[in-house]
């Protein structure tokens, strides 16, 4: 008996129809072309050169704000326009320190001619006082520009109490010297202490009593103490207070609000600003 075999040759292998074998060869190699988008590489040759006039028009290159003594943050906004005939690419924005953060689109930031832009900056004021000056370097493919941020932090204003309020608080403190950190008293004695150190912290928690315009007679003037002082003297009084007096204990281990680092910062401030007095026989 004759069997008729039908054989097909294909590019993918050999197919034999009518037999028990069905063989498939390996798939042929194919040439696949992979294309990728071109990588944009900005020109940085002039990034550190001064930015020429007529490239970016700023609403100001220096701005100032007033801040309250207990204010945590200061905010700035700078507006600008690409007034040139070419694209301007902002390559980097670097504040002068870590307490200043920038709010802007992803970098590199391409501004076509006529485009308006805005940069926002936030300065952390915790632990700072007086006049603060920060700078921000804006680097572009056409050159760099320095922006200036000025913050004038207003001095801490000691609250004024009526005679009735003073008498009430004095009576409360005589019963419990830690009462200044509780209830209504805490609004003044614990005002603006988070993240504060040195003089700003002293102004908030110490000067409110020791330098108050209506300072109680039993509260000493620290500049006129009749005993020698040193860092250990200040540390003991601040951390532990004085039992039987109005002086509270400020250390957290004693039920007070201040950390060891905060107490050390006040000790350092007092050691430098208040000269030790010789003991007297008063």
143-195 per-position pLDDT tens digit: 999 999 999 998 766 566 666 766 666 666 666 666 677 666 656 666 667 77
Check whether residue 167 and residue 149 sit in a common domain: no
Specify the CATH number for the domain of residue 227: 1.10.760
Q: Is residue 216 part of a domain?
A: yes
Q: Which of 75-79, 125-129, 143-147, 278-282 has the lowest mean pLDDT?
A: 278-282
Q: Are residues 183 and 147 in the same domain?
A: no
Q: Using the 3D structure, point to which of 134, 153, 172 is the last residue of a domain.
A: 153
Give the separation between CA 74 and CA 134, rounded to whole angstroms: 11
Which domain-ending residue is among 118, 153, 188?
A: 153
At which of 153, 174, 191 does a domain end? 153
On whether both 148 and 182 belong to a single domain, the answer is no
134: domain CATH number?
A: 2.60.40.10
Nearest to 67 by CA among 121, 118, 126, 120: 126
Q: Does residue 88 lie within any of the structural domains?
A: yes
Tell me, letter by letter, the H, E, C secondary structure of 30-44: CCCCCCCCCCCCCCC
What's 114's DSSP letter?
T
For residue 79, give both structure tokens: 């507006």
Are residue 169 and residue 148 in the same domain, yes or no? no
Q: Give the pair of three-digit tokens for residue 43.
A: 């020109």
Residue 165 near residue 184 (C-beta atoms within 8 A) = no
What domain count does the chain have? 2
Q: Do 197 and 134 belong together in one domain?
A: no
Q: How far apart are CA 262 and CA 270, in angstroms?
A: 13
Tens of pLDDT, residues 107-126: 999 999 999 999 999 999 98
5, pLDDT greater than 50? no
Q: Establish if 215 belongs to a structural domain.
A: yes
Residues 134, 179 within the same domain: no
The residue written with tokens 């007092």 in the block is 270
Residues 6+ apart with CB under 8 A from 266: 197, 198, 201, 202, 205, 206, 234, 238, 258
Domain membership of residue 37 (yes or no) is no
Kindly state whether residues 186 and 263 are assigned to the same domain: yes
Answer whether residue 251 shows pLDDT above 90: no
On whether residue 15 sits in a domain, the answer given is no
pTM for this predicted structure = 0.56
Question: Which structural domain range is residue 72 located in?
Answer: 56-153
């Amino acid at each position: 008996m004759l069997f008729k075999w039908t054989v097909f040759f294909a590019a993918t292998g050999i197919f034999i129809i009518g037999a028990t074998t069905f063989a498939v060869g390996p798939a042929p190699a194919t040439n696949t072309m992979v294309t990728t988008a071109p990588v944009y590489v900005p020109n940085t040759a002039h990034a550190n050169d001064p930015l020429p006039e007529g490239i970016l028009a700023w609403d100001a290159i220096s701005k100032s704000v007033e801040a309250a003594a207990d204010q945590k943050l200061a905010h700035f906004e700078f507006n600008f326009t690409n007034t040139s005939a070419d694209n301007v690419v902002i390559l980097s924005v670097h504040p002068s320190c870590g307490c200043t953060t920038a709010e802007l689109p992803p970098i590199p930031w391409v501004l076509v001619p006529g485009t308006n832009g805005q940069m926002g900056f936030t300065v952390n004021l915790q632990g700072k006082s007086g006049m603060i000056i920060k700078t921000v370097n804006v680097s572009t493919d056409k050159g760099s520009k320095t922006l200036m941020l000025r913050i004038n932090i207003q001095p801490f204003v000691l609250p004024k109490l009526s005679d009735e309020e003073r008498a009430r608080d004095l009576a409360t403190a005589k019963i419990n010297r830690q009462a200044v950190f509780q209830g209504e008293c805490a609004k003044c004695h614990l005002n603006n202490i988070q993240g504060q150190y040195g003089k700003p912290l002293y102004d908030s928690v110490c000067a409110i009593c020791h330098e108050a315009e209506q300072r109680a007679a039993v509260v000493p003037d620290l500049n006129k103490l009749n005993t020698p002082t040193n860092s250990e003297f200040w540390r003991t009084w601040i951390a532990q207070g004085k039992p039987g007096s109005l002086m509270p204990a400020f250390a957290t281990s004693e039920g007070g609000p201040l950390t060891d680092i905060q107490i050390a910062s006040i000790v350092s401030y007092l050691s430098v600003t208040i000269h030790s007095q010789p003991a007297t026989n008063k």
